Amino acid sequence: ANNEDKEEIKRTLLSAADVLSDSPDSQYRVARALVRHGLKETALRLYRDIADKAPDAPHPLAESLDLAAETHDVRTVTWAATRILSQAWIGVHDELHKKARSRTVEVERWLRAEGRPKEADDLAEQVRQADSRDLVIRVTWQGDADIDLKVLEPLGTVCSAQNRMTPAGGVLVQDSFGKDP
């Protein structure tokens, strides 16, 4: 890629991404190479493709969030942040959730400063919706007890102490024995 035309670098890297289309991890490396060569918009498109193929993978979303904030791409910040916040990655990717919240607050302020309050309000509403959960179960008790809760999800998956994160989005936040903490 040394001293090559950007269009040639882009063509070569996108060809590699096509060949590696069945490997989101390999495509992720190609997208990072696109960024290193200054092809940020192309990288963002590839990150979106990767996120569609591997919806539980946090890296393409995190990279998209950073790039979009850097380039003031409101649409992509909104997409990446709401995808991150809608995932119940509690305890697993807390820092990514914090980053998504921080980026959306930053972009919302920027939009308001630019005199674009409708877009800022839309962003805030989409973040609020991404934060909502379909169902939250909180079990409390008095005295010593061991309650083993299993939740059968609509897809047929089970969220339990043995399967703390499910493909359907279920997350068991805490499993404890004895008095409720």
pLDDT in tens, 26-61: 888 888 888 888 889 999 999 999 998 888 788 999
- pLDDT for 47 equals 92
- pLDDT for 77 equals 94
pLDDT in tens, 115-166: 999 999 999 999 998 877 777 888 887 777 777 889 888 778 898 888 887 7
**Is residue 181 scored above 50 in pLDDT?**
no
| Mean pLDDT in residue range 98-111 | 93
Residues 8/14/20/23 CA torsion (nearest 10 deg):
140
Query: Model pTM?
Result: 0.69
Q: What's the rounded Cα separation, in Å, for the pair 39 and 20?
A: 19
- pLDDT for 91 equals 64
pLDDT in tens, 69-98: 888 899 999 999 999 888 866 666 788 989
- pLDDT for 28 equals 86
Q: Taking the alpha carbons of 95, 79, 18, 6 in that order, is the dihedral positive or negative? A: negative
Radius of gyration of the CA atoms of the chain, in A: 20
Q: What's the rounded Cα separation, in Å, for the pair 46 and 64?
A: 10
Q: Classify each residue of 116-154 as buried b or exposed e, where b means 16 or more C-beta atoms within 10 Å of its C-beta.
A: eeebbeebeebbeebeeeeeeeeeeeeeeeeeeeeeeee
